Chain A
Amino acid sequence: MNQPTPHIADKFDVHVLRGRFPVLQRQVNGKNLVYFDNAATTQKPEVVIEALAGYYRQYNANIHRGLHALAEKATAAYEDTRRTIRQFIHAPEADEIIFTSGTTASINLVATAYGRKFLGAGDEVIISALEHHSNIVPWQLLCEEKNATLKVIPVDEKGNLVLADLAHLIGSKTKIVAVNHVSNSLGTINPVAEIIRMAHNAGAVVLLDGAQATAHIDVDVQALDCDFYAFSAHKLFGPTGVGVLYGKRSLLEAMNPYQGGGEMIKEVTFEKTTYAEIPYKFEAGTPNIADVIAFKAAIDFVEGLGDKSELLRYEQSLLQAATKQLKEIRGLKIIGEADEKIGVVSFVMEGMHHFDIGMMLDAKGIAVRTGHHCTQPLMHQFGIEGTIRASFSIYNTIEEVNFFVESLKQIVEKWR
């Protein structure tokens, strides 16, 4: 059953938009590419690729210390990205934006540089059952080291966090609450404002893993009042290898440095080293200059598309069409039907393994993700090994959704 093309805002024509992404023009396995693995990484628009190449072609230089023209230009471009990100997530100051290699590195930075200093024996860290391994393992390591306890906010059968249980978990021993803004496996948009309010009432700091959120939701760290916000460039149309950690100035200043090296020092003698101010205190060594610079082009690109809530509505129209049609397939079960979701649909098929389905979809040119999506505890809770996950982005179309469902039907019919 084909769905009509949903209404698209005038300034946002999906077919024009697709033209800006070189990879979307190609074929795979002799078929037109249908890219539904956007939760893993998004494709890159031409402007990002150009910005990356432009840096290497025209002004490749190391930043901050050089006094020559190229170094000056590279430094300006690098710092320009920092200011752009400040605006993008509505942070108070650019100095509160730290560049890392990705969300995982940002979380590890906080677990190490904040956790090691402020967590003690008997303290508690709270995460949720929806977390990616990247927001589980750093806290496990920390809790093991500090003899602290890791607690988990449960998730219900629809994929919603059970906030009533958080009220019981949280207490005076809770020092850190770390949850994702949006679930990577199920697409659940979590009630983070409420979680932050509850955590702050108990005196705990909150880290939000925003890896899956920033491409879909307008993030305002001040309105949320979150203490730390971590995300990656590559899930936001930017290059791989760049992440961001936002942290409140007072917290960042109180933390120990994470890694030692160049850039992060004020003065080094063999007796004592004094550290640079934030953000440089946390940016030891030559950073990923080229990708940070190109990241600005990605953010400008997203901002140029207009109202985020409109983009999300478009993605959700794809989600609704996909969900409705998928449910018509006998033996298909959708995993995660939370009240609020981004364009992610995860499902299992009775009698068929997700790897087999993924491979057959790939043969038809459709890229989806199969497996546990780095959320094994969540998969265990649903009693499954993994799912097939289709995750949509703004450049996907209703025609692609229809083709995906039709292809899946063919596979199932042929195979049963």
Chain B
Amino acid sequence: MEVNKDIKASIKDIQDEIIEEFSFLGDDRESTIFYIMELGQKLPPLEEKHKTEDNIIKGCQSKVWLTAGLEGERINYKADSNTEITKGLISLLIRVLSDQKIDSILNADLYFIEKIGMGQIIGSQRSNGLVAMIKQMKLYALAYKSKLN
């Protein structure tokens, strides 16, 4: 239980870090969008062989490929997209959720999204896409959990 708590705190810490980073950007939409896109550029590329129809997240306007692998008791996510903005969004989710324990991922409350006002930044359609990404990441966690049990 102790360990789990630490990991939960870790997801929280990362989210708080992100919230702080975004607070420096203020209300300037342009720099915020550029910032998200720059985050996307830093995302390690996904190997071409993983860019399959099966790995595409449904419900996103852009193409987003997501893979997950179990390393010990933690899940490692990798992703890519054909648009920089979406790459930026998934990179934020990866930063928060990748290499976390299964239960921490399943229980994660991703409050940073609302805190940084992501809905206003990316608009309603992309927000739906973001929800689809989170859902898919949690589904992977759920699948690994049932596989391990």
Contacts and interface: CB of A to CB of B under 8 A. Distances in A.
Interface of A: 29-30, 352-353, 355-356, 359-360, 363-364, 414-415
B122 to A, nearest CB: 8
Contacts of A352: 84
Given A355-B62, A356-B37, A414-B34, A363 B83 contact: no
A415 B36 CA distance: 12
A30 B122 CA distance: 16
B127 to A, nearest CB: 13
Nearest to B125: A355
B30 A29 contact: yes
A353 B29 contact: no
B85 interface: yes
B33 interface: yes
A352 B86 CA distance: 13
A363 B62 contact: no
Most chain A beta carbons < 10 A, residue from B29, B34, B86: B29
A363 B122 CA distance: 10
A274 to B, nearest CB: 48
B30 A356 contact: no
Given A353-B62, A355-B85, A415-B37, 13 more contacts: A30-B27, A30-B29, A352-B84, A353-B82, A353-B84, A355-B61, A356-B85, A359-B33, A359-B85, A363-B30, A363-B33, A364-B30, A415-B84
Given A29-B29, A363-B29, A353 B34 contact: no
A355 B84 CA distance: 9
A360 B33 contact: yes
Main SS at interface, chain A: helix
Shortest beta-carbon contacts, A-B, top 6: A363-B30, A353-B83, A29-B29, A355-B83, A363-B29, A356-B84
24 contacts: A29-B29, A29-B30, A30-B27, A30-B28, A352-B84, A353-B62, A353-B82, A353-B83, A355-B61, A355-B83, A355-B85, A355-B86, A356-B37, A356-B83, A356-B84, A356-B85, A359-B33, A360-B30, A360-B33, A360-B34, A363-B29, A363-B30, A363-B33, A415-B84
B79 to A, nearest CB: 16
A356 B33 CA distance: 9
B35 to A, nearest CB: 11
Main SS at interface, chain B: helix
B27 to A, nearest CB: 8
A14 B18 CA distance: 46
A360 B62 CA distance: 16
Contacts of B33: 359-360, 363
B64 to A, nearest CB: 12
Nearest to A364: B30
Contacts of B29: 29-30, 363
A414 B41 CA distance: 13
Most chain A beta carbons < 10 A, residue from B30, B34, B82, B122: B30
Contacts of B30: 29, 360, 363-364
Contacts of A355: 61-62, 83, 85-86
A252 B30 CA distance: 53
A352 B29 CA distance: 20
Contacts of B27: 30
B140 to A, nearest CB: 25
A30 B30 CA distance: 10
Interface string B46-86: 00000000000000011000000000000000000011111
